[in-house]
Amino acid sequence: MTELAPAPFPQPVSLGPDAFAGRIAFFAAATEVAAAAKARLVARYGDSPLDGARAVVSLGGDGCMLETQHRLLGRNLPVYGMNCGSVGFLMNDYREEVLLERLAESQAATLHPLRMRATSADGTVREAPAINEVSLLRETRQAAKIRILVDGKERLPELICDGVLVATPAGSTAYNLSAHGPIVPLGANLLPLTPISAFRPRRWRGALLPGDAAVVFEILEGPKRPVAAVADYTEVRDVRRVEVREDRSLSLTLLFDPDHGLSERIIAEQFTV
Query: Distance between CA atoms of 32 and 95, rounded to whole angstroms?
Result: 17
Q: Looking at the structure, do residues 33 and 104 belong to the same domain, yes or no?
A: yes
Q: Looking at the structure, do residues 228 and 128 belong to the same domain, yes or no?
A: yes
pLDDT at 5 over 60: no
- DSSP state, residue 40: H
CATH number of the domain to which 199 belongs:
2.60.200.30
In a domain, 6, yes or no: no
- Please indicate whether residue 93 is annotated as part of the active site: no
Query: Distance between CA atoms of 133 and 169, rounded to whole angstroms?
Result: 9
Number of CB atoms found within 10 A of residue 98's CB: 11
Would you state the pLDDT for residue 169?
87
Query: Distance between CA atoms of 57 and 51, rounded to whole angstroms?
Result: 14
Task: Please check if 118 is assigned to a binding site.
Answer: no
Task: Please check if 252 is assigned to a binding site.
Answer: no
What residues contact residue 266 under an 8 Å CB cut-off, 6+ apart? Answer: 169, 172, 173, 183, 184, 185, 186
Task: Please check if 133 is assigned to a binding site.
Answer: yes
The DSSP string of 68-130 is HHHHTTTT---EEEEE-SS--TT-BPP--TTHHHHHHH-EEEEE--EEEEEEETTS-EEEEEE
Task: Please check if 132 is assigned to a binding site.
Answer: yes
CATH number of the domain to which 103 belongs:
3.40.50.10330
Cβ–Cβ under 8 Å, residues 211 and 187: no
Amino acid at 6: P
The residue range of the domain holding 209 is 114-246
In a domain, 158, yes or no: yes
**pLDDT, mean of residues 51-71:** 93
Q: Looking at the structure, do residues 257 and 200 belong to the same domain, yes or no?
A: no
pLDDT band at 202 (very low <50, low <70, confident <90, very high): confident
Task: Please check if 80 is assigned to a binding site.
Answer: no
Amino acid at 51: D
The three-state DSSP-derived secondary structure of 231-271 is ECCEEECCEEEEEEEECCCCCEEEEECHHHCHHHHHHHHCC
Strands (E), 13-124: 24-28, 55-60, 79-83, 107-111, 114-120
Query: Distance between CA atoms of 132 and 112, rounded to whole angstroms?
Result: 10
In a domain, 4, yes or no: no
Q: Looking at the structure, do residues 124 and 182 belong to the same domain, yes or no?
A: yes
pLDDT by residue (tens digit) across 183-201?
A: 888 767 899 999 999 999 9
Task: Please check if 45 is assigned to a binding site.
Answer: no
Q: Looking at the structure, do residues 185 and 222 belong to the same domain, yes or no?
A: yes
Query: Distance between CA atoms of 212 and 239, rounded to whole angstroms?
Result: 23
- DSSP state, residue 187: G
Q: Looking at the structure, do residues 145 and 195 belong to the same domain, yes or no?
A: yes
Q: Looking at the structure, do residues 84 and 176 belong to the same domain, yes or no?
A: no
Amino acid at 226: P
Among residues 62, 93, 122, 259, the one annotated as catalytic is 62
**pLDDT, mean of residues 116-135:** 97
**pLDDT, mean of residues 59-66:** 91
CA dihedral 242, 245, 248, 254 (to 10 degrees): 90
Q: Looking at the structure, do residues 141 and 241 belong to the same domain, yes or no?
A: yes
Would you state the pLDDT for residue 271?
79
Cβ–Cβ under 8 Å, residues 164 and 148: yes
Would you state the pLDDT for residue 137?
98
Would you state the pLDDT for residue 6?
37
Task: Please check if 232 is assigned to a binding site.
Answer: no
Query: Distance between CA atoms of 115 and 98, rounded to whole angstroms?
Result: 37
Would you state the pLDDT for residue 1?
34
User: What's the pTM value of the predicted model, to 2 decimals?
Assistant: 0.85
**pLDDT, mean of residues 2-30:** 72
pLDDT at 259 over 90: no
In a domain, 69, yes or no: yes
Number of domains in the chain: 2
Number of CB atoms found within 10 A of residue 249's CB: 9
Q: Looking at the structure, do residues 108 and 175 belong to the same domain, yes or no?
A: no
Q: Looking at the structure, do residues 45 and 122 belong to the same domain, yes or no?
A: no
Task: Please check if 92 is assigned to a binding site.
Answer: no
Q: Looking at the structure, do residues 72 and 162 belong to the same domain, yes or no?
A: no
Query: Distance between CA atoms of 271 and 265, rounded to whole angstroms?
Result: 10
Q: Looking at the structure, do residues 165 and 60 belong to the same domain, yes or no?
A: no
